[in-house]
Chain A
Amino acid sequence: MHMWKSITLFVIRALLTAIPPLAVAAGMYIWLDPFGILDIGKTPSVPAYGITSSNKGIVSMRAIENGYDKYAYDSFIFGSSISIAYPAKEWAKYLPPGASPVHFDSSNEGAGSMNRKVQWLVRKGMPIHNAIVILSPKILEAPTIGSYIPYIDPPGIATGITSWWEWHYNYFKGFLSRDFYISYLPYLVNGQPVERTHTWIFEKQPIVYDPVLNEETVPEWEHTIDTNPEDFYKDHQLPSASSIRPHCSNAHRLTPDKIEAYENIAHIFSSQGTDFKIIIGPELDCDTISLSDLQELKRIFGAKNVYNYSTPTSGLVPVYTDYIDVRHYRPCLAKKILERTYKTL
């Protein structure tokens, strides 16, 4: 047989052998849509107690796309899961009458993801009249491009010819991961998480989701902390009271790529005449922003727009019951922060 004929036959046979099992895997992925990301046009649900792998970035993007015509959002709460603590209706009290606030958050949102979201709003022609950017010392460490599936930006927000491919490749890989399906398949059979499996794919918080404000609340937990905090904190390991000591980190968390991303955000805010506040929230372990990073943020956004509540001088004494965990504080503390921020005006 001629060599090239033989090589062609070899390649075709190899492909034909490999394709059916891959097609089975891809078919299962499309059929089950375990992450709720394939049904384009529909807002993926944020389940109360189920698979958490839904990417909050895509939930936020689709919620805003779907609700924009009706609610004409013009005020945005940017940030990571920490920003969930800021109720949109509470913030609206400090906004001009007629402002329409909405959450535009995603998990572990760093400078890069936030910058891409702001640019997406510009591309969509959605004005940004008001904004609050919720940061924390720890979140400044978030990379500008997320690689872990709940952190990656959905295509649309992430641009470039490879963004669609990267998104679906990562999710498909996530679906094929052993860690995922040993929890997911018994869940499919049982209809609820099975104790003997890893449980990292299941949301532990009994979330209540408001699709209009794209807002997540956890009233059950709020109630437990208010009425019986010992019970709540028994299950949520928090640092001991003695270990909570203010420590100023000298680490420069703002790398050049993050600085560039924040500069882009500041530029867009400035060009749109956005009324915005940059809030650096506190953390229970008293991790603080370094002075150099704070100065950098003040240089980028203007000193009058940056509010630092991470240092002890801010007057916010760490109180256990203000927190759900070390990084995430509760709406009661967020309300205090909003009050202080807007009172200083």
Chain B
Amino acid sequence: MEFNSLIFLVFFTIFFLIYWALQPNGDGRVPPKLQLQNLWVLAASYLFYAWWDVRFLGLIILTTFSSYLFALIGHKRHRLLFTAANIILNLGILVVFKYFNFFSENLSRLCSVFGWNIGWIELDILLPVGISFYTFQAISYSIDTYRKDIEPTRDFIGFACFVAFFPQLVAGPIERSKELLPQMTSPRRWDYACAVEGLREVLWGLFRKVALADTIAVFVNHLYAEHHSSYSPMWGLMALLFALQIYFDFSGYSHIARGIARMLGVTLMVNFRVPLFSASTKEFWTRWHISLMTWFRDYLYFPLGGSQCNFSKWCRNILIVFTLSGLWHGASWNFIIWGIFLGVYICAEKVIFTQLKLDYKSKSVFRTMVTVSAAAFGLGIFRSQDITQVCDVALGSLPWLILFIFAGTAFAYIWQAMPRRWRSILLIVLLSAAVSLYAHFDVAEILAVVLKSAPLMLATLTLIVEWHTRKCNFALESMPASKIKRLSIYWILVLAIVFSVTESTQFIYFQF
């Protein structure tokens, strides 16, 4: 059941009305009505999850039971033992369902290099949707209780809701028990302003997913399916467009998840904070998929020593974190190579910044262009189907991305040098002239060119809006006071969504 489907609209409308009908009074205890409301959340979450495949439910229920029980038992004695047991069990499930065939196949290949032809087992199993997300969320609970950051909860239904809360179940944000669990075990309050803000965020997320990501996907899929010559600029375009597609897709999902939760009186963490305007890759990864990166930071990077160690150990820590985060995305070499690339790049970036005495906090257009190009380069690898395509994309896109850095920087400086009031007019005139020339001044042809390139224009406009609203959690958080202006914005977004139906509708991150 996709967020951008009609069936979800029906599901959520029914769920929403019954959810608030079961609203408890909130007298401090866990009142029977909260249990009833949570039971309703749990039933809806399991239905939502079972919509993909009812067999997936068994795993999530197992993860819920083990995490709940081991935390409670371990709280009394053998805390380390029970925490480790739960982590091993959950990671074991993840490994079997997600990585077993990958490791088995690669071990088999390795053995055949040495002349040992061993018939490795291959499991014929489905990869449960969102398994990496809820497994990491459950593990975070185990570690938090072990560290005594939180007390293990006795409210099983509330805990099950924490693991399976449907808005963030299949693609995050990966919530922390400290933040989400208390919201699940205590009464939520209806707040009109919060619900309106939630609905706005849903609208913003849907716009990003349907009107931007899905329409850009048409270009990306077309480019990836075509064969390009070694020096074709299409390689650079492919990488840049895919970076835009996955950004709008995943951030769109996160906004919808946050918006839905907000309408239910629950606050989820912000998962993206305008990453495409970062001045370094290090900064980029504090703004992109924040919930995953902070998970790795808190539960892996810090325990490894973080940055409180010498440079070589820091590099090792960074490489471990990013390689594992690559592996987290999928059992495939392109993800691992992507992770290693990011780790190496961040280490190299640190060396350059130290040598040139650059400040991480200071912004510059050139550095932003370098960061975006590095991200696009990495994501080009991420999108590749096999090692051959990884090499093709890497070699093919690199010169064009370097050109993009210099062209983009030059454009930005010319833009800044122009008189402020003439900038937009000049740009529109230049664009119109280019389109008209290209379409031989034929109205129907001009319309065709404009319609075909509309997703890219919309994406550019969205990025400009993002820059101007970068201090907000999402662009529609602060709206104009005028009702007419607000309505106009809503209607433009709804129309853009309605007129952007494409075949590609599944969120990219569901596969992880």
Chain A residues in contact with chain B, CB under 8 A?
Answer: 1, 3-4, 6-7, 9-11, 14, 17-18, 20-22, 24-25, 169, 173, 176-179, 181-183, 185-187, 189-190, 194-197
Contact = CB atoms under 8 A, between A and B. Distances in A.
Interface stretch (B243-251, B282-290, B445-453): B445-453
Given A21-B494, A21-B495, A190-B444, A177 B451 contact: no
B16 to A, nearest CB: 8
Interface stretch (B192-200, B273-281, B340-348): B192-200
Interface string B428-464: 0000000000010011110111011001000000000
A186 B445 contact: yes
Given A21-B498, A25-B499, A186 B192 contact: no
Given A17-B490, A178-B215, A189-B443, A3 B23 contact: yes
Nearest to A169: B6
B3 to A, nearest CB: 15
A10 B196 contact: yes
A197 B199 contact: no
B112 interface: no
B192 A10 contact: yes
Nearest to B190: A3
28 contacts: A3-B23, A6-B190, A7-B20, A9-B192, A10-B195, A10-B199, A11-B17, A17-B490, A17-B494, A18-B494, A21-B494, A21-B495, A22-B498, A24-B495, A173-B501, A176-B498, A176-B501, A177-B501, A178-B502, A179-B218, A181-B499, A183-B448, A190-B444, A194-B444, A196-B448, A196-B449, A197-B451, A197-B452
Given A10-B195, A173-B501, 16 more contacts: A1-B192, A3-B23, A6-B192, A7-B190, A9-B192, A17-B491, A25-B495, A25-B498, A176-B498, A176-B500, A178-B455, A178-B502, A182-B452, A194-B444, A196-B439, A197-B452
Contacts of B490: 17
A21 B491 CA distance: 6
Contacts of B62: none
Contacts of A1: 192
Given A10-B195, A182-B451, A197-B448, A3 B498 contact: no
The 4 closest A-B pairs by CB, nearest first: A190-B444, A21-B494, A182-B451, A186-B448
Contact of B448 (A24, A169, A173, A182): A182
Q: How many residues of B sit at the interface, in one of the four size bands?
A: 20 to 34
Contacts of A169: 6
Contacts of A18: 494
A106 to B, nearest CB: 22
A147 to B, nearest CB: 11
B444 A189 contact: yes
Contacts of B451: 178, 181-182, 185-186, 197
B452 to A, nearest CB: 6
Given A7-B20, A7-B190, A178 B499 contact: yes
Nearest to A197: B448
Nearest to A198: B452
B487 interface: yes
A285 B192 CA distance: 65
A189 B199 contact: no
A197 B452 CA distance: 8
B487 A194 contact: no
A186 B445 CA distance: 7
A11, A14, A178, A195 — most chain B CB neighbours (10 Å):
A178
Nearest to A10: B195
Contacts of A183: 448
B502 to A, nearest CB: 6
A189 B455 CA distance: 21
Nearest to A24: B495
Nearest to A188: B444
Contacts of A21: 491, 494-495, 498
A179 B439 CA distance: 19
B445 A196 contact: yes
Contacts of A189: 443-444, 447
A18 B502 CA distance: 20
Contacts of B499: 25, 176, 178, 181
A183 B449 CA distance: 10
A178 B199 contact: no
Contacts of A176: 498-501
Nearest to A9: B192
A194 B215 CA distance: 21
Interface in B73-114: none
Interface in B175-207: 190, 192, 195-196, 199
Interface string B472-512: 00000000000000010011001100111110000000000
A277 to B, nearest CB: 38
Contacts of A187: 444
B491 A20 contact: yes
A41 B46 CA distance: 47
